[in-house]
Amino acid sequence: MHKLHYVIMLVLVTLASGELQAAKPGGGTPPPSGSACVGQPGEFPAMAFARGVFAANGSYGRTQIFVANSSGTCEVMVYDSGNYDRSAISGLSFHFDAGSGTGTLAWSQVRDNGERYGTGRQVVKVARFQVVGGAVGLPVSAVTVYRSPVDGLAISDVALSPNAARLAFSTEQATSTAGVWLYQVLMCDLPSPSCAPAVEFASTTVKALDLAIGRNLTSGAERVYFDNAHRDVRMIERSDVGWSAQILVSSVDYTGESSVQLYEPSVLSMAGQDDRVLFTSRAGSGAWRVDI
């Protein structure tokens, strides 16, 4: 997760701003008010997280999204997938613009609201909300901005740019050659009622999974960071002739450790400073760490 002015990881997390409002949340019942964090210590909203809700028979059902304060003492539910049919959420990205009081959430969902298990295709959804006086305006709308065009195309992660003007997501899909998969990074502009993404990176050998978007401090060029099958963290940077790629850190850089895996690059973007890339790592079955 990743992405923005302040960065925190929970279940899946990150931070941005815009349009895209109306209607009801995903079909669930929102809390009576969004003022649960008014007067609570710390910054609000400082993070977002998803929480699974299980059906009475113990099977996985709906997913809810919450925003919380920096001290972790309060939370406000802003989205409910609204059906008990395995509508799991992944790749949650969160951004908040304190100047306008606008928050943005983007994520992928196994299927759209109301679609039954075994039907539908994976989707990318975006929701925007306002915070006034520390209270979230409810209900919050979620708009489906992208739908997998074919069966079998999986969306691995979703990332908002540091100003929430761009959206990136990674996909994977089996090719006609047995055992060969196509991995892509797609990007589109926001705000928009729909996302017409351009393929910015494609490979059958480099497996782009978890994403973060940043920028080159000197040139202002757009950057996308991703982990390659948990073996290394890579960066691609936009130029006049396309995208250039480089490996930033690899599992082999961890001398004296074996079976190191790298996950979830995040970008801390601050005015006047170059990107700081955070990611999680672990050696074998050892403890998880946050590296920078």
Q: What residue spans define the domains of the chain? A: 47-291
Q: How much is the pLDDT for 286?
A: 84
Q: How much is the pLDDT for 14?
A: 33
Task: Tell me the residue ranges of DSSP E strands in the chain.
Answer: 47-54, 60-68, 75-80, 89-97, 102-109, 123-132, 135-136, 142-147, 154-160, 166-174, 181-189, 198-203, 208-215, 222-228, 232-239, 242-250, 260-268, 276-283, 289-291
Angle at 158 between CA 95 and CA 116, to 5 degrees: 115
Alpha carbon distance 260, 3 (integer Å): 23
Q: How much is the pLDDT for 10?
A: 37
Q: How much is the pLDDT for 230?
A: 87
CATH number of 47-291: 2.120.10.10
Q: Quick one: DSSP state of residue 137?
A: -
Q: How much is the pLDDT for 2?
A: 38
Positions of the chain with pLDDT lower than 50, given as ranges: 1-32
